[in-house]
Amino acid sequence: MLASFIIVFREVLEAALILGIILSYIHRAGRPDLRIKIILSALAAIGASIIGAILFNTLSNGFSGRAEEVFEGIVMIAGAILVTTMILWMMNESDKVKKLENKLENSLTSGRITTLLAIVFISIFREGIEIVIFLTTLTAKNSSGLITGSLLGFAAAAFLGLLIFVWGKKISLSAFFRSTNILLILFAAGMLAYGIHELHEAGVIPPVIEHIYDINPAVNTDGSYPIFHEKGAVGSILKGLFGYNGNPALVETIVYWLYLIGIVTFQITYKKRSAKNNPKLRTS
């Protein structure tokens, strides 16, 4: 439930903030007449995301056996890539509002209202499709509380976005995004490793060494799993959240740690470079 809550919360909050920025901008620009068109464009994007979710779910249910393993592996890796792009996108959040407002200004000054509506549609639709893929990866890992976590995440993000827009509160989201980035990095690493695991099962990628270690406790005499087994109460939660595997293959373990070390190193290097180029960041 935690994974679906955080993912849906972040995606919906980003969509809500983008919509809020656009509505605020057209109000300041003296074009409140565009409000209805922008809202309709956002609703169309949400509807398109729902249709995309249905089509994607139909497609995924059409596979079985080896094809299903290959499909799940590809979806997992695609999900990890999308999460990574989200992490990298949020690393430079200070420029996002400025870039978005530049696009809006160019659209209004040139009279290209269609372009403005396209910005709204694409921005919201992108967030919706990312949610579909992320939740599909969690479903593949049998994450419990998926629907509950998703609904809570949607409600919390919509409520916070409304507060920011209506009350104009200058709520700094940097700390929130930085902290959730840590979880998202672990989510992405788990998705990537799980995707490789599925491709191992399908025979697409050789594991080299099938199990480099096995820390799964023995199954109980009644057939139930101990809590720290990857299929147990705690182990299954860790598997759903971070792709925990009690007996991983060599290749998936290497991929997991290469990803973690690589993305953390990149973030540290990026922050140092940004601080060097922008002295204000050194004291923030």
- Asked, for residue 240, whether it belongs to a domain, the answer is no
Taking only the tens place, the pLDDT of each residue in 4-55 is 777 787 778 777 777 777 777 777 677 777 888 888 998 998 899 889 888 8
> Could you tell me if 4 and 135 are in contact, meaning their C-beta atoms sit under 8 angstroms apart?
yes
- Asked, for residue 224, whether it belongs to a domain, the answer is no
The pLDDT score that the predictor gives to residue 201 is: 87
Between 141 and 88, where is the model more confident?
Answer: 88
The mean per-residue pLDDT over the stretch 85-91 comes to: 72
Q: Please give the residue range of the domain that contains residue 24.
A: 2-212+248-282
The pLDDT score that the predictor gives to residue 30 is: 74
- Asked, for residue 10, whether it belongs to a domain, the answer is yes
CA 243 to chain CA centroid, Å, is 15
State the pTM of this model.
0.64
The pLDDT score that the predictor gives to residue 284 is: 46
Handedness of CA 271, 273, 276, 277 (dihedral sign): negative
* Token output for 264: 């953390």
Amino acid at 266: F
Q: Which of 59, 251, 215 is nearest to 136 (CA)?
A: 59
Confidence at 186, pLDDT banded by 50, 70, 90: confident
The pLDDT score that the predictor gives to residue 78 is: 83
* Token output for 52: 């995309």
Between 89 and 227, where is the model more confident?
Answer: 227
Average pLDDT of the chain to the nearest whole number: 77
The mean per-residue pLDDT over the stretch 205-220 comes to: 89
- Asked, for residue 226, whether it belongs to a domain, the answer is no
> Could you tell me if 49 and 125 are in contact, meaning their C-beta atoms sit under 8 angstroms apart?
yes
Confidence at 3, pLDDT banded by 50, 70, 90: low
Most confident of 156-160, 208-212, 230-234: 208-212
Please tell me the distance from the alpha carbon of residue 7 to that of residue 184, in angstroms, as a whole number.
8
Q: Which of 14, 30, 12, 8 is nearest to 100 (CA)?
A: 14
Counting the structural domains of the chain, the total is 1
Give the position of tokens 């060494």: 209
Name the burial class of residue 80, with classes exposed (0-12), middle (13-18) and buried (19+) by CB atoms within 10 angstroms of its CB. buried
Taking only the tens place, the pLDDT of each residue in 116-166 is 788 788 878 877 887 877 777 666 655 556 778 788 888 888 787 777 666
Q: Strand, coil or helix: what is 145?
A: coil
Between 64 and 185, where is the model more confident?
Answer: 185
Please tell me the distance from the alpha carbon of residue 158 to that of residue 15, in angstroms, as a whole number.
9
- Asked, for residue 217, whether it belongs to a domain, the answer is no
- Asked, for residue 239, whether it belongs to a domain, the answer is no
